[in-house]
Structure 1
Amino acid sequence: WGLLLLSAALRATAAAHCPAPCVCDNLRAHVLCLNGSLMAIPDNIPELTKKLDLRGNIFMVIPAGVFLAIPYVTHLDLQHCKMERLEEGAFQGLGRLVYLNLASNGIAFLYQESLDGLSSLQHLILEGNRIEEIQSGAFGHLGSLTVLDLRANALVYLPDMVFQGLHVLRWLRLCSHLQPRPSPTAPPEQPRVAGSRQCPQGCVCSSDFHHGSCENRDLQEIPRDFPKDTRLLDLRRNPFMTVPPYAFPGLKELVSLHLQRCSIRMLHPGALRGLESLVYLYLSNNHLSTLAASAFEGVPQLAYLDLDHNAFTRVPAGAFRLLPNLISLHLQHNAIGELAEGDLAGARGLRWLYLAGNAIRHIASAALAPTKMLEKLHLEGNHLSEVPTAALWGLPALSELKLSRNPIKHMGDSVFLPVASSLQHLYLDNLGLERVS
């Protein structure tokens, strides 16, 4: 009886110190909080935890010092958590951590202090994010790292000395989109004079990284006169309202342009003219409701276009016909009601189409016909009442289809026949299915 009472007491103690949606194994010091709806890292995780699995939650940001109370963790899994940002010092206190998995999130940048405090880390998995920039020094304190996985990201080039400090690295897995880093040396006929490098007033220009930033400066007009070798330009959180024609003169080397949260209602014809090297354009969280194809005149290399969280009620028909290299199109969280024939005209190279969180009730049978290379189609959180089978014909490369959170009540036995030979990942949770035949 004494042993039974002791066992019951231990179970009660474990339960009392285990976060509500989690499962805690105190004997092995493991904590699992899988596929829940956690919006923040729990603050009552047992202090002696060694393995912490938080996959499938919703942690948009990992704030600084959030793990300070659990210093004994050696394995941390944060896959599929919709993560977009690591604050500097996010992993402070995890000096014993040897394995960190951040795969399949939306992280776009690794700053110099993003991974501080991980002196024992041996395995770092960053596969399947949206990383386009890694600052020099981001890996500088990871002297024990042996495996680094950066596959399936949006990296275009790597800065000098980016892997400095990785003395014992054995395996480095890189994405396939890397291009040779352009030489920072100016042509002989245009020598640089010390101290002559221009930068608009109120902005910061980095000659080392070829970046310019005017983030959150309350600017009402897009500044000009950035250095001609600028490759990343961050203009987020300024009330521009509109992008006029030829708004970025002289920036032929610009690769990435950030215009998120700028209250933009209009992208004028020729607004991006001259940005012949532009690959990434971020226009999310604005007020755009329409786009003309002429707005994309002069950016033939554009591959990644973010238009999520705008005011579109339909896909701007034919707007992408000047973008033959468009790979990824984000239109999630608008108010789009249907996908009609001709909406995606010209997007023949499109591979990833994100339409989650709209109000789509119907997809025309020929709506996806131009996108014969499509690999991912995300339609979760719409108003579809049936699987759009007819629209799936002619998509021989489609490997991932998300239909979760649609009011689909009936599903026939051949609804996925058009993509049966290619489909690898199918998401059908929270459909309210009543009958499968």
Structure 2
Amino acid sequence: MPFFSAAIFMMILALNLPVEAGKCPRVCSCDAAKLTVACVGKNLTEVPPTIDEITVKLDLRNNNLQVLPRGAFVLTPYLTHLNLQRCNIIKVKEGAFRTLGRVVSLNLAYNKIDVLYQESFDGLSSLKELHLDHNRVEEIQPGAFTQLGVLNMLALTHNQLVYIPNMAFQGLHNIKWLRLSHNSLNNLAPEAFTGLFTLSRLSLDHNELQFFPTQTMTRLSEVTRLDLSHNPMTYLGEESVSMAKLTHLYLDHMSLQDLSDQALAHVPLLSHLDLSHNQLRYLEPLSGPKELASLNLSGNPIYCNCYMRPLREWTRAGSVKLLGACAGPPHLSDELLQAVAPLDLRCRSRGEMLKDEFEEDSESTGSSPPTAKPTQKVKCPVNCDCDVEAQHATCEGRGHTKVPRGFPIKTQLLDLRSNHFHYLPANSFPGTSQVVSLHLELCKIHEIEGGAFRGMKNLFYLYLSDNDLTSLDPGAFAGIPELTYLHLEGNRLAQFPGTALAVLPSLFVLHLERNSISKLEPAGLLSSVTPKLRELYLTNNTITSIAKGALDSAFLGTLHLDSNQLKEVPTPALSEAHNLEELSLSHNSIRWVGPNAFQPVSQRLKRLYMDQMGTEKMSRDALAGLGPGLKALTVRGNQLEQLPELSPLTGLEVVDLQDNPLLCDCALLPLRRWMENVSLEVIATCGHPQELRGQKVRDVQVFVSCPESSSPPHQEVVVEPRTSKVKKPKPSLSKAPGVKARPGKPKAKLPKPTKSQPQRKPTAPKVAKSKKTL
């Protein structure tokens, strides 16, 4: 008993003694009372070995760890919170977290992880929150999460997932919220979510699902909230949704043109249905939901005639709040649906009504109703699977060396990824005129002959990501005039493929990330080649220069140039990009930002990202011209001691000034005043003088003694930036710049595609109505 008492005494003593000086790594900040260690932005390449064993919270953000080896945290077994954001982590080796049985929160956001291996999270038996957002995850290996039996929330947003295989989340016995937003998901295996018996909330918004995944969702017996907004679905067929406990369903900002009155027949508890911003002209009363309290039809071209009367009577009888307004006829235009009386919803004469119905039918595809079963079995190429009713066909990963032929004529989604085609000759896809989405990722393609896609007149999405293309034939995309979304990321293109894009008059979004493009020249670029291009992604190339005129475009709204090799803001090149709304320059080596750097795009710019550029100085007038229209500004992780004038930026909703060594003296008084006058939280800390280092600008008292006129003179003095203080940052593989509105809660870049004027987001071709998917 005395020995036991002595042991308890020694444990209490150890927990209350200050941390020894030798136990706190020299570059870190340690709090003995709270048992926390912070080593933020120190360019560490490994976990410091001298961190005290009893540490419970470890913050290693903004370092350069790259690989987490086995037993990386063996010396800190008592951790409960571990933050590894923005550490350039590429791989987590088996057993990296094996000793961390007490960790409840692990943040791996904003790294470069592309595969989640089977034993990646082994040992995290107490983990409740896992943040993997803003990585490059494209594969989840079986068993990746089997050790996370108490996990409540898993965030996989802003990654590169295109497919969820069967049993992908096996082992998550206590999961409550699964976040898969902002990926490229277009297919979910039938058993993708099997075993998630406690899941109550699922976020699948901002993906590329063209059909409601009925078979997959039916297995989610406990889900109450489902978000499928911003997916290109055009139709919801009979009994598409069968989820007994679902209460909130978000289907907004899609391409819905029709909705069966039986689509929600098996959703009895649904209380909130959001169908806003689709293409619905009318809607019938919905069979199934008995508890519906809110139906949102805002942003739809609702035509308020007799066809809408049954719905209006149904919502009135059930006291359903009906949101939205009439788009026509003229005498009811802009009238709130909730205010329109059923008797006001009238049609013209019977003959005119029949004529309208006939014309409406003639505009459809002419195919039989999607619920009708095929009268005969349709053939399918050998070693492929064809779902006639869903109009999907897949030969994914079947080892094909030539493009198979003989798909059903009405196929609309054709998935050929992970084969070995190497070369696509002319006319490679005969009989596929109805295909809307074609997947050719990871097929080792190194050459595409002119006319390879000829005849695919309805092709809207084309995925050629992660192949071996070094150049493109001028006629490579001939014959696909409706192509709107083109993915060429992850190839080896050395030049902007301007001539090949000239035959794509409808091109709206172009992905060229992870190529080898070194410069942008005026010849064959935006204005003359892709006049409707709205979004251009050039992240992770080797761009060193952008010539004036290279970016001229009346419609370009989103431009990502992050993780390139630019030395200065390409101001001259932006001179004719007057409608640019989002610009990312993060992870370039731009040490000096001069006056009026963004003047050419100041009228429309809403989001500006300049993180981790090694910037040492910005002119006081660097942001001149930008005003209330700017909504997001990030300059995180630079070497700025002073900041430019921010007072005109009264419309900011997101701002990130963290991890800059600001000089807290009277010259910074304008920033302090600005921070006091804005409603959002601004995180900025002092780097100098030494006695104020690490303190928040908002909290220090140094500004009390500053004279009223202490702000720098308006006359600009150009000072050459220092060259010795900062190492050139390594390019990042992340797809989006880091943004923070609140500490510890990373926010994502705003969703794409941007739907602002003057160019409206293209509407996907109407896909035949179906209630099943592959």
- CA deviations on 1:304-337 (whole Å, 9 max, x unpaired) are 4124441423443361542625424124431432
| Equivalent position of 1:310 in the other structure | 492
Q: Which residue among 424, 433, 441 is the counterpart of 1:243? A: 424
Deviation at 1:67, TM superposition (A): 2.8
Quick check: 101-110 or 338-347, which moved more? 338-347
| Equivalent position of 1:289 in the other structure | 471
| Equivalent position of 1:125 in the other structure | 155
Distance 2:489 2:161 in 1: 18
After superposition, where does 1:58-73 map in structure 2 within 5 Å? 58-73=88-103
Deviation at 1:292, TM superposition (A): 2.0
**1:336, 1:358 within 8 Å by CA — same for their partners in 2?**
yes
2:477 aligned counterpart, secondary structure: helix
State the superposition RMSD in angstroms. 4.0
Identity %: 17
Q: Which residue among 142, 145, 151 is the counterpart of 1:115? A: 145
Distance 1:175 1:289 in 2: 34
**2:568, 2:593 within 8 Å by CA — same for their partners in 1?**
no
| Equivalent position of 1:391 in the other structure | 574
Deviation at 1:298, TM superposition (A): 2.9
Q: Letter of the 1:39 partner, please give it.
A: Q
**1:296, 1:323 within 8 Å by CA — same for their partners in 2?**
no
Distance 1:432 1:242 in 2: 44
Distance 1:36 1:392 in 2: 36
2:72 matched to 1:44? Answer: yes
| Equivalent position of 1:382 in the other structure | 565
| Equivalent position of 2:326 in the other structure | none
2:452 matched to 1:271? Answer: yes
2:22 aligned counterpart, secondary structure: helix
| Equivalent position of 1:169 in the other structure | 199
1:357 aligned counterpart, secondary structure: coil
Q: Letter of the 1:338 partner, please give it.
A: L
Distance 1:183 1:15 in 2: 54
Distance 2:495 2:478 in 1: 20
| Equivalent position of 1:343 in the other structure | 525
Deviation at 1:355, TM superposition (A): 4.5
2:600 matched to 1:415? Answer: no
Deviation at 1:154, TM superposition (A): 1.7
| Equivalent position of 2:480 in the other structure | 298
Q: Which residue among 185, 191, 196 is the counterpart of 2:377? A: 191
Distance 1:144 1:164 in 2: 13
Change over 3 Å in CA distance of 1:259–1:52 after alignment to 2 = same
- CA deviations on 1:22-77 (whole Å, 9 max, x unpaired) are 57575551222211121111443123322221111223344454433433322111
- CA deviations on 1:239-294 (whole Å, 9 max, x unpaired) are x5421112244555574523437260x21122133554562413435142234254
Distance 1:301 1:160 in 2: 29
Distance 2:564 2:437 in 1: 32
Distance 1:72 1:199 in 2: 51
| TM-score normalised over the length of structure 1 | 0.79
Change over 3 Å in CA distance of 1:244–1:283 after alignment to 2 = farther
Q: Which residue among 444, 462, 467 is the counterpart of 1:262? A: 444
2:190 matched to 1:160? Answer: yes
Distance 2:156 2:90 in 1: 16
Change over 3 Å in CA distance of 1:425–1:226 after alignment to 2 = farther
Deviation at 1:186, TM superposition (A): 9.5
Q: Letter of the 2:89 partner, please give it.
A: F
1:213 aligned counterpart, secondary structure: coil
Quick check: 271-280 or 88-97, which moved more? 271-280
| Equivalent position of 2:402 in the other structure | 222
Q: Which residue among 211, 216, 219 is the counterpart of 1:180? A: 211
Change over 3 Å in CA distance of 1:283–1:296 after alignment to 2 = farther
Distance 1:248 1:92 in 2: 45
| Equivalent position of 1:90 in the other structure | 120
Change over 3 Å in CA distance of 1:114–1:330 after alignment to 2 = farther
2:427 matched to 1:427? Answer: no
Change over 3 Å in CA distance of 1:366–1:340 after alignment to 2 = closer
Distance 2:393 2:477 in 1: 25
Distance 1:396 1:7 in 2: 60
Q: Which residue among 540, 544, 555 is the counterpart of 1:356? A: 540
Distance 1:139 1:13 in 2: 39
Q: 5+ unaligned residues in a row in structure 2: which ranges?
A: 1-9, 27-36, 216-370, 620-715, 717-774
**1:318, 1:342 within 8 Å by CA — same for their partners in 2?**
no
Change over 3 Å in CA distance of 1:262–1:164 after alignment to 2 = closer
Distance 1:69 1:392 in 2: 55
Q: Letter of the 1:361 partner, please give it.
A: S
Q: Going by fraction, where is helix more abundant, 1 or 2?
A: 2
- CA deviations on 1:337-363 (whole Å, 9 max, x unpaired) are 224254132262432422433243223
1:387 aligned counterpart, secondary structure: coil
1:234 aligned counterpart, secondary structure: coil
| TM-score normalised over the length of structure 2 | 0.48
**1:273, 1:299 within 8 Å by CA — same for their partners in 2?**
no
2:202 aligned counterpart, secondary structure: strand
Change over 3 Å in CA distance of 1:175–1:304 after alignment to 2 = farther
**2:163, 2:185 within 8 Å by CA — same for their partners in 1?**
yes
Q: Letter of the 1:44 partner, please give it.
A: A
| Equivalent position of 2:584 in the other structure | 401
**1:315, 1:339 within 8 Å by CA — same for their partners in 2?**
no
Q: Which residue among 329, 345, 348 is the counterpart of 2:511? A: 329
Distance 1:347 1:87 in 2: 43
Q: Which residue among 137, 141, 144 is the counterpart of 2:171? A: 141
Change over 3 Å in CA distance of 1:30–1:418 after alignment to 2 = same
Structure scoring higher RCO (CA < 8 A, sep ≥ 6) equals: 2
Distance 1:9 1:346 in 2: 62
Deviation at 1:108, TM superposition (A): 2.7
How many residue pairs end up in the alignment?
Answer: 421
Deviation at 1:144, TM superposition (A): 1.1
Change over 3 Å in CA distance of 1:173–1:434 after alignment to 2 = closer
Change over 3 Å in CA distance of 1:75–1:403 after alignment to 2 = closer
- Larger radius of gyration, structure 1 or 2? 2
Deviation at 1:79, TM superposition (A): 0.8
| Equivalent position of 1:365 in the other structure | 549
Q: Letter of the 2:72 partner, please give it.
A: N
1:52 aligned counterpart, secondary structure: strand
| Equivalent position of 2:180 in the other structure | 150
Distance 2:106 2:190 in 1: 29
**1:320, 1:347 within 8 Å by CA — same for their partners in 2?**
no
